[in-house]
Structure 1
Amino acid sequence: MKEQIVCQTSDIEPGHMMKTTFGKQTILVCRTPDGEFYAFLNQCIHQGAPLDKGMMCGATTAHSKPGDYDYCHHGEIIRCPWHGREFDIKNDGRMLASPDKKIPSFNVRIEDESIIVYK
C-alpha cells in the first residue's frame, strides 16, 4: 500500500480545498465544514479541468411547490470550473447529475496533524 503525507491539517480551513501531490499525481484535498478530510484526483472526469480552480459549494433540493428550493450540503460539493459538473465529496466523489460516474478518490487518515493519503 502506497501512502504519503500530503499536507498538515492546519493548511486547510473547514470548507476549503488545496491542490497537492500524491506520488506523481496532482490531487485535491478537501475539508468539509464539519472538519472531515477527503482526497480526489484533481481532474474532472468530463474534459480534465483542474478541480482546484473550481469551488466547494452546496446543492439545491426541490420541495413540493414549484420554484421552492432548499440550499443544502453546503461545502460538500466540488463544482468543476469549466462546465459546472458537480461532485459529492461525502459520497465518494459521485457526480450529482449521474451518480454512476465519479472522480477517482483516495483514502485519507490523520496522524498527529499530518494528512496522509493512501491507495
Structure 2
Amino acid sequence: MKQVVCNVTDLQPGEIMEAEFDRKSIVVCRTMDGEFSAFLNRCIHQGAPLSKGMLCGTSIDTDQVGEYDYQREGEVLRCPWHGREFDVKNRGCMLANSKYKLKDFKVEVENEQVVVCK
C-alpha cells in the first residue's frame, strides 16, 4: 500500500506534522538535510502524540566533566510528555536505549509529494 501524505513544500527542514496513513495517525518528519521519515504517532512509553513534540538535537557528553555539546539538530524527535528522544535517522530508535524503537514506515518522494508505504 502506498499513500500520499503531504507535499514536499508542506514541511520545511526541521519540521514535523501529523498525517493519516492507512487510517492511522502518523508523524512525518523532515530533517535539516531535507530527508523525510514517518512513524506511528504514539510514543512507545505512554502513548503521547509525537506530532505535538519537536524535532530537535540532543546534548552529547564531551571529554570535560560537566560539559555537553549540542549536536544533531533536526534529527531527534522528542516526546512532548516525558522528553523521550528518538533518532529519526536511525529508524526511530530511542537514544537512551536503541533496542526500543518507534514503528516506522518507508517514505518516498514522487513528483514533489511525500508518499508513505507499508
Query: Under TM normalisation by the shorter chain, which class is it?
Result: over 0.9
The alignment's C-alpha RMSD in Å is: 0.6
**AA at the equivalent of 2:12:** E
Structure 2 residue 37 is matched with structure 1 residue 38: yes
Secondary structure of the structure 1 residue equivalent to 2:12: coil
**AA at the equivalent of 2:98:** P
- Per-residue deviation at 1:67? 1.3
Secondary structure of the structure 2 residue equivalent to 1:82: coil
Percent pairwise identity: 53
**AA at the equivalent of 2:10:** D
Unaligned residue ranges in structure 2 (runs of 5+): none
What is the aligned partner in structure 1 of residue 12 from structure 2?
13
Q: Deviations over 1:44-92 (max 9, x none)?
A: 0011000011111101111111012111000100110111100000011
Provide the TM-score with structure 2 as the length reference.
0.98
Secondary structure of the structure 1 residue equivalent to 2:114: strand
Work out the CA distance in 1 between the residues paired with 2:60 and 2:82.
Answer: 20
- Deviating 4+ runs (over 3 angstroms): none
What is the aligned partner in structure 2 of residue 117 from structure 1?
116
Q: Map of 1:1-119 to 2, 5 A cutoff?
A: 2-119=1-118
Work out the CA distance in 1 between the residues paired with 2:62 and 2:46.
Answer: 32
Secondary structure of the structure 2 residue equivalent to 1:99: coil
**AA at the equivalent of 2:92:** G
Unaligned residue ranges in structure 1 (runs of 5+): none
Work out the CA distance in 2 between the residues paired with 1:77 and 1:64.
Answer: 22
- Per-residue deviation at 1:93? 0.2
- Per-residue deviation at 1:36? 0.5
Secondary structure of the structure 2 residue equivalent to 1:117: strand
**AA at the equivalent of 1:14:** P
